[in-house]
Each structure stands twice: as C-alpha cells, then as structure tokens.
Amino acid sequence: MIALSMQINGRAVQVQAETSSLLVEVLRGPLALTGTHVGCDTAQCGACTVLMDGQAVKSCNVLAVQAEGKSITTVEGLAEPGQTHPLQQAFMDCHGLQCGFCTPGMLMTAACLLAKNPQPSEAQIVHALEGNLCRCTGYVNIVSAVKQASVAMAGGAA
Amino acid sequence: MNAPVEAGRFGSGQAVSRIEDPALLRGQGRYTDDVAMPGQLHLAFQRSPHAHAQIVSIDVAAAAAMPGVRAVYTGADLVAAGVQAIPGPGGFARPGGAPAVSAPRRALAHERVRCVGEPVVAVVADSAEAARAAADAVWVDYTELPAVVDPFDAMQPGAPVLCDAAPDNIAAEMRHGNVDATAAAFARAAHTITLDIDNQRLAPSPIEPRCVLAWVDAADGRLNLRLSSQMPTGVRGSVAAALPGLTPEQVRVQVGDVGGGFGMKTGIYPEDIAVAYAARALGQPVKWRAERLEEFLSAVHGRDVISRGELALDADGRVLALRVHGVANVGAYASGTGVAIQVLIGPWVQTSIYDIPCIDFRFTAVMTNTATMGAYRGAGRPEAIYITERLMDAAARRLKLDPAELRRRNMIRPEQMPYKNPMGQTYDSGRFEQILDQGLALADWQGYAARREASQRRGKLRGRGIATFLEWTGGNVFEERVTVNVSADGFIELGSATQAMGQGIATSYAQLAVDVFGVPIDRIRILQGDTDRVNGFGSAGSRSLFTGGSAVSVAATRTIDKARDLAAEALEAPAKDLEYEAGRFKVAGTDLGIGLFELAARQPDAAIQVDSTSSVGGPTWPNGCHICEVELDPDTGEVALAAYASVNDIGRVISPAIVRGQIEGGAVQGIGQALCEHVVYERETGQLQSASFMDYALPHADGFRDFKTAFDTSIPCKTNALGVKGVGELGTIGATPAVVNAVIDALDAAGLGASAERIQMPVTAERVWRALKLREMDASPYRA
C-alpha cells in the first residue's frame, strides 16, 4: 500500500492504494464514489470516464498512482453542491438517459468536450462520444442533450 | 396556481421529466455493485477453457492456500451438498413425443463442461483480486471432447452428443399448422418464394454487467440476495429450489437500479446460485461482479435461428400459404425460455399482420457447445418478423409489385377484428393499412426516385426497405398486484412486482397515479424490487405498462373508493355526496372537506392502505410501419442509413418522451443486428471469438440518429382499460427487416437482382463489398 494525495471534486484527499490499483477501484472502493461505473474490461464502454486535470480519462485504464497530485472530477462533483449542471439539466430535458448506467461517463466526456470546445458541431459531439457506449438510447437524445447544454452554457436559450 | 391544473401537467399523455433521473444524473444510482456490506467477501470463477470436455480431476490445494482465500468450491462439492440443477425445458417435447430434454445446468459444472466459459470452480476471498488470483491457481485436468457449435452439424449422426437422452441433440421440436393443406396451396400457387435466412446470434449487452450480493440476515437467518434482475420473484423461487433446505419465504430478493435488461436478466443464472451457496456456507456477505468477458461467455445470448421460409402466392400477390422450418441453436443447456421463444413465441406472430390462411411451421431447438440461449429484446418475434418481411419483399420483387402494395393486398382488415391467426392468437385491434398509409407519407414514399438520383449523383447506391408488422406482448401473465400506502406525511407509495430496468416505468406509473389522485407527481413514490413487499411475474415482453400500469390505475381508484368511505365518516356526510378532486374530498355544494393526507393521519396506522389485485383481458398487439433508406458506398461496401421513418400503433400514449426513446433506442438495437452485431464461435474448437466490445460491434454514437417517429393513438387496445399496448420491443423488431430490405433493394438496383436476397446478417461492409465487386454471396446457412 502507498499513500496518495489528490484533489477529488475540489477537496484534498489522502488515500491508500496498491500500486496495481486502478483509479476507478480507488474511487468506487475507499472513496465510495460509486457514480463512476465499470462496464467492460477493455476501455471500450466509457462508463468509468472521469476528468483528470480537466481531461476526460477512462478511470479503468488509469492507475491510481498516476492520479497522484492530480485533480479528479467525478460525476458527483460535476455540479456545484446543491446545483444542477447544464449537462445534467439537458440530459433530463432531452430524455438523454434510460437505465443511467453509462450516463456518468457520457456526462464527464461531454463536460470535457464543452470545456475545450463550447460550441461543438454535431459531428464534433459524436466524435467526442465515440468512446462511450450506450445500449438504451441509441444516442439520439444524448447528442441532443449535449447540444442543448452547449447552448445553455453559452447563455443562450436552449 | 390552481392545484388540479398543476397536477394534470404531470398526468398521462404529458412529457414529464422522469422521476428516476435526478439521482442517476448525480451519480447517486444504486446499482448492485454500488452496495457494499460490512465484511463482504468476493467470489471469482474459474471457467472452462474448452467447449466440451470431461473433468478428470480438480486440485484446489494451491488456491486454497493463497492469502485471503476463504473457500474453494467445485461442482462435486455442490452436488454433495445437495445443490440442484436449474430446471430444463419442461412442457415441450422432442420429435416423437418424448419430453424435451437438457443436460443439467448446474451452478458449477460437474464431471463435464459443455461450453467455453462454463463456471467450473468458485473461489471466495477477502478481495476481488485475491479471489481472481486464486481462481487462476486452481488446477483442473480435462479430457477434451469433440465440440459442435453449428446446429445442423449437431443433428448429423456421429456428432458430439450434449445430453444422452437426446442422441440427435434435439432438445425440443414443435409443428404448427397443416402440412397437407400447405403443400396443396404451394402446388396450385402462381408464385412460390424460398429464402434461407440466418437470424444470427446476438449478445444483449446491457452496459451494467451482472452483479450478485448475497448474505444471511443475522437476526432471522434468511438468505438475502441483491442483484440486477427483471424478475426478482422468479429468482427467489429458483434459488429456493436450488439450495437445500430453503423455502421461498426464507429468501428475500432485492433489486435496486438495473443498468439495462433487454430480457437478459429475466431468470436465475448458475452464478447466482453459487454466490448464494457461498454466502450461506460461510455466513458472510459474498459478492460477485461479472467482468465483460464473463458476460459474453455466460450471460444468455439471443436469436441464433437458421430458417427456410417459403411463401405461396396467387397471380395477384395474395399469399396462399406460409411454410417455415427454423433450426434454433439453443446452446449447451436448453432452458424453458430459450426453447419457448423459438418454438412457440416467435411462431405466434409469424403470419404477422397478414391474412394468411394456411401455415406449415416446424421449429427445431438444437443443443450445441455454445452459451445457453435466453430472451433478448423481442425474443422470437424479431426472428419471425424478419423472415416474413424478407419473404414479402422477395415476393414483391418476383411479382414486380411495389413492396408496400403487395403488403397492402395481404393485410388483415379492421373489420376482421378481433382476428384469430392460424396459431390461434387473437388480435383485439389494429388498422394496419391506416398505419401503412401514414408510414408512406412520413417517409415520403412517392418522392423516393428523386432522392435515389441525388444519391447516385454523389456516387452512392441508395436502397429503400419497408417492414409492416405486429408483435405479441405480455408473457401471458395478466394479473398484477399493487399495494398502495397513503401516508400522513403526504406521500402515496405504490408497490409493484414489475421491475424498472431503465425503461422509465416508475415515471409512467406515477403519471397514471396522478391521473387518479390529482396530486403533484412528487407526492407519488413507486416501490419495486423487493420480494418482501410485492411479488409477481416481473418485467419482460413489454408487459409492464399494460398489466402493471393497468393494475396501478385500478389500485389507485380502489384507494379513492376506500378513502371516500373514510372521508364520509370523518365529515359525517353520506359518501355519495362527496366529491374528490386534487387530493381533497369535499361535500358537494359546501366548503366542508378533508385532504387525503389529513384523512390518512386520522387512521389507526396514520395511513390508508389498499392491497389490490387486478387483471387485464389479454396480450396486446402493438404494430407499426418502419421505412428505412440506406446508401451503400460502392468502393468500400459501407452501409449508411440515410432516412428512417416509423409510424407506430401502441394504443394510448402515457409518457410521450419515454415511448419515443423506446422506439428509437430499440431501433438502434435492431440496426445493430442488421449491420454489425454477431456472436461468433469458431466452428472447429467452439472458442468464442467475439468476447469483448472490441470484437462484438455495438452501435456507437456515430451511427444513425435522425429518426422520424410518429404514433397513431387512435386505435386503443381493447383488452385493458388504459387502452395501451406494449412498446419496449417494437422498434427492435421493425428496424432489422427495414434496414436489410433497404440494403437488398440497393444491391438489386446495382445489378444483383434477386440474388441480392442471399445476403445474410450482419450486413457488414465486407459482405456488401463482396456482393458488389465480386458478385460473391453467402452460401445458404440452411441444410435440409
């Protein structure tokens, strides 16, 4: 076991982990942040996506030690406490989720996209979501929701 | 704001935000793997690396000695402990009439393994890592046996035999219809059409892998299971039947959030029994979460039936008879579900919306060294409808008729309702031509030539496909119980044994409750997934809304009736003089009244409770017209969807956004079967070659999304008071034939003619490229 320090959702956190531990195991285990999900073994489904220093990463493909000193944002920290993030609102408005299992990963991937490219084209949204699998929605309403959020975040009417 | 107006905004027919969403969007869902028990141990399986082998010996010593290991179990251990196998396909018969059979499907394989990935050894340890490492350290000595994965190979004399009672590997067979009359119809037909069709094997692939957490309650000694399931009560019964000394009452099954089901989570799995056994044996909580590899290996698969379909038509294109022989690969262990889907449920809709007078169906369920087959979205109906819609298109091509016109000539007419089809199934309602006409208008059927020319100018080959069809819904269990608890704290809780799995059923139930109670939707709470509270069939076959929703509506009305009597006492007024509106009883023509929750507060338990059981009159028959246009890239063979329009009759619509999501999300699954998904076993070795999301191609976000989706709500179902029809599977069933018919149309136009009909699913770029460039078509998968 080694001691790791990182920022999780804006708070300094110390956590013990094995050198072989994956970031997602530390998030879901000792840190009890179970909003980040595990859906595959091969970094295909993207349900485990979190932000590491603002970059969307698949936390099943990142060792916990790689997060040392980094700032991690999970779905639990997407919105300010008590607030609803425009992406969360848009997913609700657009029926962008059904079972909800892939949703945290979709939200975090989209958050990364909108931070870097606040007004993405539909093609850019689709490209950004290429590494996130959804079996329920057919992606129709997910793409609509990301579009709506980009408009809302730009201050326009959705 | 006026209260009833406010509440009504959230009633049926309104597009409301789902009540499920806020928690799921904040990462506060409670899927099984999100739950951790104090002292929880972890279980891992060693699985068979062979498709077929004799287990010679198992040496667990090294594994048992590893750090953190608490127990190692083999199949022999479980047999010795009296653990029972999962029941096989009861109620069906083999050719000749002997009962249907399967080798025993055990929690852990005993003496013999029959497919790759079958659980052989279970290891329980302090951590998941320790359990996995120890499972790898178990030494199993196998004698490999020849394996067979193709059902036609399996029926050959001398083929490897999976179950001694079935030397031909046929688990079950059913014949329906009239052989002689059909033969006579074919003899006098002006046209006959024959197609050999592969409905390939699919992996349902909900994104949440299976997970099971089992523990024994220290206080009462009962076995508790928390898992991801569509049928908690069924799991309770099956676990009690498998483990010695347990009654169903001594088992409690709880289900939290379910990350997608699609039929795959409808029954007990061997792994569930192993985890439950370990928790009882060790007296500590035990958890197993499937890796994706384990899901591909040992969760049930769907479809996998190879059929010869034959249509006899007169000179005007009227269908005289339909003959189908389907050979279904039901996997290593024939299950009741896997067999019923292929030999009975699919055939129920084989004649679809067409008035076909004569049928000859034979469906053969064959065991092979592959994963066990179960339900996957549509379960039998997609296979049947795909065959029929491919045949209708082929007939139109032969008769040089517009495919919509040929279908129109054969449709059951509204005045024929209720209509009994040749399988004895009665359709209560349906106006299929009305749906067709709307579909043609929505798709701009008449304007197709211009779009085709536009594609041509861009160097693309355009094709158009149509599917008009219906499906059966329901599971043929029509009774549902609903518990209602109106509590003094201002909430109305409705309990149902139907099960949420992402379809938004809690929101739809809440909307129905708002209709009756007239209170804001945030006053309604839906309780599901706890066998200590409500038991029933569960959710499958698009049955929840029309059975469970109808039961919610009845239960809510009964609650108002009971509350009216209580209000009459409280207000000292005759019950008949009381009016109920928006959560309040009022004495007509006065200001005297009492609120529903205030009334609850005055009751002995500070609640008004109703336990209501009610039934609907039969299954529902949702139907639709789905029209797809594709563009083929002649250089790469790539298939791109260019347009997709669907008009759907699901009766009355309760939750507009939800049903649209069901149709379109479902259609993408159907498109997945048409274009990319395929579970592949290597024919020689029985090894699974599509065992990850890298090899098994799910649709991604870059697929087609521009759906035009419409609903005709003018044809309510007549067998339930809500007038609703099931919606969960309709999109999946319609999309597959619409897409493939469009690809075949494009290939036909590119010069392949009727030979294009030999293409099989998934219609990959390679298949299309071979067809276009090399004129190379698939060999028939069917062998007489």
Show me where the domains of chain B are located: 3-30+477-615, 32-145+209-258+265-298, 302-473+619-774
| Maximum C-alpha span of chain A | 50
Q: What is the largest CA-CA distance in chain B?
A: 87
Name the token pair of B565: 């009597």
Cβ–Cβ contact B465 with A under 8 A = no
Nearest to B21 among A28, A36, A92 (CB): A92
Flag whether pLDDT at A158 surpasses 50. Answer: no
B contact residues 273-292, partner A, Cβ 8 Å cutoff:
289, 291-292
Closest residue on chain B to A20 (Cα): B129
**Two structure tokens written together for A72:** 């991690």
Residue carrying the six token digits 């004569």: B358
Q: What architecture (CATH level 2) is domain B32-145+209-258+265-298?
A: Alpha-Beta Complex (3.90)
Would you state the structure tokens that stand for residue B352, as one six-digit string?
Answer: 């679809």
Do A8 and A67 belong together in one domain? yes
pLDDT at residue B438, rounded to an integer: 98
Query: Across the interface, do A135 and B701 touch by the CB < 8 Å criterion?
Result: no
Q: Residues of B with CB below 8 A from A36's CB? A: 27
Quick check: B22 contacting A, CB < 8 Å? yes
In our burial notation (b when 16+ CB lie closer than 10 A, e otherwise), range B502-535 reads bbbbbbbbbbbbbbbbbbebebbbbbbbbbebbb
Contact yes or no for B502 and A39 at CB 8 A: no
Strand-pairing partners, residue B308, are B196, B325
With 0.90 as the threshold, say if the pTM is over it. Answer: yes
* Token reading at B129: 């890592």
Distance (Å) from the C-alpha of residue B254 to the closest C-alpha of chain A?
Answer: 17
Helices (H) and strands (E) in chain A, counts: 5, 5
Domain membership flag for residue A113: yes
Do A65 and A93 share a domain, yes or no? no
Residue A42 lies in a domain: yes
Length of chain A in terms of residues written: 158
Burial class from Cβ neighbours inside 10 Å (0-12, 13-18, 19+) for residue B109 reads: buried
Give me the residue from B26, B33, B660 closest to A76, CB to CB: B26
User: Does A137 sit within 8 Å of B206, measured CB to CB?
Assistant: no
Please give the full DSSP string across B546-571, using - where no structure is assigned: IIIIHHHHHHHHHHHHHHHHHHHHHH
**Residue B6: predicted pLDDT:** 63
Q: Tell me: do A108 and A65 sit in the same domain.
A: no
**Nearest chain B residue (CA) to A86:** B25
Judged by CB atoms within 8 Å, which residues 34-73 of B form the interface with A?
Answer: 34
- CB count within 10 Å of CB B537 equals 25
Q: Is B657 on the interface with A (CB under 8 A)?
A: yes
Number of domains in chain A: 2
Structure tokens at B477: 């269990």
Facing B34 at nearest CB: one of A34, A78, A102:
A34
Which one of B19, B25, B127 would you mutate to disrupt binding with A, by most A Cβ within 10 Å of its Cβ?
B25
Contact B642, B462 (CB under 8 A): yes
| The one-letter amino acid at B741 | N
φ, ψ dihedrals at A97, nearest 5°: -145, 150
Query: What is the CA B591 to chain-centroid distance, rounded?
Result: 52
Instruction: Return the amino acid letter for B455.
Output: S
d(CA B691, CA B303): 17
What CA–CA distance (Å, rounded) separates B259 from B293? 17
A92 and A44 assigned to the same domain: no
| Distance between CA atoms of residues B592 and B577, nearest Å | 11
Q: From the CA of B493, how many Å to the nearest CA of chain A?
A: 22
Q: In B264-370, where does DSSP find H-type helix?
A: 270-282, 292-298, 336-340, 346-348
Q: Looking at the structure, do residues A112 and A142 belong to the same domain, yes or no?
A: yes
CA B125/CA B69 separation, integer angstroms: 4
Identify the domain boundary among A10, A44, A77: A77
The answer to whether the CB of B360 falls within 8 A of the CB of B178 is: yes
Residue B343 DSSP class: I
CA gap B382, B341 in Å, rounded: 11
Q: Is B256 on the interface with A (CB under 8 A)?
A: no
Tell whether B31 is within 8 A of chain A (Cβ): yes
Neighbours of B565 (CB within 10 A): 11
Residue B661 to residue A107, Cβ atoms within 8 A: no
Q: In three state form, how does the secondary structure of B34-64 look? A: HCCCCCCEEEEEEECCCCCEEEEEEECHHHH
8 Å CB contact of A138 and B699:
yes
Q: Which two tokens stand for residue B140?
A: 């199993």
Q: Contact B707/B667 with Cβ under 8 angstroms?
A: yes
Q: Cα(B409)–Cα(B313) distance, rounded to whole angstroms?
A: 11
Name the residue of chain B whose CA is nearest to A100's CA: B24
Hey, is B93 helix, strand or coil?
A: strand
Q: Of B14, B20, B21, which to mutate for an interface test with A (greatest number of A Cβ within 10 Å)? A: B21
Span B3-30+477-615: which CATH code?
A: 3.30.365.10
Residue type, A55: Q
B3-30+477-615 matches B32-145+209-258+265-298 in fold: no
Mutate to test the interface with B, among A9, A19, A25, A140 (most CBs of B within 10 A): A140
Contact B661 A34 (CB under 8 A): no
d(CA B87, CA B110): 16
Q: B697 with B349: CB under 8 angstroms? A: no
At which of A25, A49, A77 does a domain end? A77
Flag if B292 and A130 touch (Cβ within 8 Å).
Answer: no
In angstroms, the separation between the Cα of residue B694 and the nearest Cα of chain A is 7
Contact A138 B664 (CB under 8 A): yes
What is each CA distance from B758 to B182, B648, B672, in whole angstroms? 24, 29, 19
> Is A91 in Cβ contact with B25 (below 8 Å)?
yes
Judged by CB atoms closer than 8 Å, whether chains meet at A129 and B701 is answered as yes
CATH code of the domain in which A40 resides: 3.10.20.30
- Domain with residue A149: its CATH number is 1.10.150.120
Measure the CA–CA gap between B432 and B412, rounded to whole angstroms. 7
Q: Which residues contact B306 (CB under 8 A, 6 or more apart)?
A: B151, B152, B196, B197, B198, B199, B326, B327, B329, B781, B782
Class of domain B302-473+619-774: alpha beta
Q: Among all chains, which residue has been given the structure tokens 């990935």? A: B117
**Do residue A34 and residue B262 have CB atoms under 8 angstroms apart?**
no
Question: Residue A129 falls within a domain, yes or no?
Answer: yes
From B196, B419, B391, select the one nearest B307 (Cα to Cα): B196
Q: A16 is in which domain, residue-wise?
A: 2-77
Last residue of a domain, one of A77, A99, A117: A77
- Chains A and B form CB pairs within 8 A to the count of 169
* CB contact B696 to A (< 8 Å): no
B502 interaction partners in chain A (CB closer than 8 Å): 98-101, 136
Is A158 a member of any domain? no
What residues have CB less than 8 Å from B462, skipping those under 6 apart? Answer: B451, B452, B455, B456, B629, B630, B631, B632, B642, B746, B749
All residues of chain B having their beta carbon less than 8 Å from the beta carbon of residue A141 are 661, 664
Query: In this structure, are strands B479-487 and B492-496 parallel, antiparallel, or unpaired?
Result: antiparallel
Contact B18 A127 (CB under 8 A): no
| Type of residue at A151 | V
- Per the listing, tokens 């979205």 go with B377
Rounded CA-CA distance B626/B623 in Å is 10
B669 and A135 within 8 Å at the Cβ level: the answer is yes
pLDDT, position A156: 61
Establish if A90 belongs to a structural domain: yes
CB contact under 8 A, B17 and A93: yes
B227 and B212 Cβ atoms separated by less than 8 Å: yes
DSSP type of residue B354: B
Find, among B630, B709, B621, the residue nearest to B667 by Cα: B709
Nearest chain A residue (CA) to B663: A137
Report, as ranges of residue numbers, the positions in chain B whose pLDDT lies below 50: 1-5
How close, in Å, is residue A146 to chain B by CA atoms?
12
Instruction: Please indicate whether, in this complex, the C-beta atoms of B260 and A33 are within 8 angstroms of each other.
Output: no
**Of A78, A92, A137, which has the smallest distance from its Cβ to B661's Cβ?**
A137
**Long-range contact list for B556-562, CB < 8 A, 24+ apart?**
B556/B484, B556/B494, B556/B512, B556/B513, B556/B515, B556/B516, B556/B517, B557/B516, B558/B484, B558/B610, B558/B612, B559/B484, B559/B486, B559/B492, B559/B516, B559/B517, B559/B608, B559/B610, B559/B612, B560/B516, B560/B517, B562/B608, B562/B610
Asked if B77 contacts B60 with a C-beta cutoff of 8 angstroms, the reply is no
Cα separation of the two ends of chain B = 71
C-alpha B42/C-alpha B141 separation (Å) is 25
Per-residue CA distances from B591 to B567, B568, B571, B579 (Å): 14, 14, 11, 11
B668 has a chain A CB within 8 A of its CB: yes
Task: Count Cβ atoms within 10 A of the Cβ of residue B294 and give its class: 0-12 exposed, 13-18 middle, 19 or more buried.
Answer: buried
ipTM: 0.98
Look-up of token digits 């110390």: A14
A111 and A65 in one domain? no
A46 plus A107 within the same structural domain: no
pLDDT digits (tens, 9 = 90+) for A104-136: 999 999 999 999 999 999 999 999 999 999 999
Contacts of B128 (CB under 8 A, 6+ apart): B42, B44, B289
Tell me whether B697 touches chain A (CB under 8 Å). Answer: no
